[in-house]
């Protein structure tokens, strides 16, 4: 059992919290109440960032002390939205939200994952017609091993998980969000994920 704090209680955070609780982890979800995020992060071993990516960096930098030594799993995408509310561009072109977080929080072990799929696939990968891929980006191999274990608890087979390398590789994973509006417009709001076929 791992003590997990989920920052963000929308569709992404809520579904991750429910699935991880079902897998017998102790999960605290931080709502928008003042101090809730700090309280949750302080007692956790793993903190999941499921807050809207455009405000994540500013929000998490205020938790620097609470996040010291913790594993921060970043599942968000920092985008500039178009008129239809769908992602139109990256907020950190030439970088990534995960990279910005790691730079701003050097004492925190940031791992990027689960951002290349519709949120429903994060906790139910086997529901797709073909195996999806969950990518890992991060500097700390032990932290990535912990995240692999959590992904397994969410239904991810180990052969469906690809370690891309250091945190700089999150730039590529985050750029995959640019597929999303086109996929949704062509196929509707149906579950999908980026997959590496071999």
Contacts of 193 (CB under 8 A, 6+ apart): 116, 117, 118, 121, 125, 128, 132, 133
* pTM recorded for the entire structure: 0.96
Q: How far apart are CA 56 and CA 166, in angstroms?
A: 20
Pick the closest to residue 169 from 117, 125, 131, 116 (CA basis).
116
Q: Which residue ranges make up each domain of the chain?
A: 3-187
Q: How far apart are CA 117 and CA 134, in angstroms?
A: 9
Task: Strands of the chain (E only): list them.
Answer: 3-7, 26-30, 46-49, 71-74, 79-81, 87-90, 109-112, 134-138, 161-165
Which residues lie below 8 Å from residue 92, measured CB to CB, with a gap of 6+?
78, 99, 100, 174
CATH fold of 3-187: Rossmann fold (3.40.50)
- CA distances to 6, 60, 134 from 106, in Å: 20, 12, 24
Per-residue pLDDT of the chain (198 residues), as tens digits, is 899 999 999 999 999 999 999 999 999 999 777 789 999 999 999 999 999 999 999 999 999 999 999 999 999 999 999 998 889 999 999 999 999 999 999 999 999 999 999 999 999 999 999 999 999 999 999 999 999 999 999 999 999 999 999 999 999 999 999 998 999 889 888 999 999 988
Please give the pLDDT value at position 132.
97
The span from the CA of 148 to the CA of 138, in Å, is 12
pLDDT confidence of residue 67: 98
From residue 147, give the alpha-carbon distance in Å to each of 80, 91, 115.
28, 25, 14
Strands 71-74 and 109-112, how do they pair?
Answer: parallel
């Amino acid at each position: 059992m791992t003590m997990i704090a989920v920052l963000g209680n929308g569709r992404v955070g809520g579904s991750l919290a429910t699935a991880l609780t079902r897998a017998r982890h102790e999960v605290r979800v931080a709502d928008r109440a003042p101090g809730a995020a700090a309280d949750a992060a302080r007692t956790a071993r793993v903190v999941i960032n499921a807050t809207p990516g455009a405000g994540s960096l500013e929000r998490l930098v205020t938790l620097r002390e609470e996040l010291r030594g913790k594993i921060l799993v970043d599942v968000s995408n920092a985008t500039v939205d178009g008129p239809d509310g769908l992602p139109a561009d990256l907020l950190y072109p030439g970088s990534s939200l995960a990279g910005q977080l790691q730079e701003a929080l050097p004492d925190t072990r940031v791992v990027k994952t689960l951002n290349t799929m519709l949120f429903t696939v994060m906790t139910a990968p086997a529901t797709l017609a073909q195996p999806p891929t969950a990518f890992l980006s991060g500097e700390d191999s032990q932290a990535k091993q912990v995240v692999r274990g959590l992904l397994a608890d969410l239904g991810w087979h180990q052969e469906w998980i690809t370690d891309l390398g250091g945190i700089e590789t999150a730039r590529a994973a985050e750029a995959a969000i640019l597929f999303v509006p086109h996929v949704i417009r062509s196929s509707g709001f149906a579950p999908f994920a980026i997959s590496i076929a071999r």
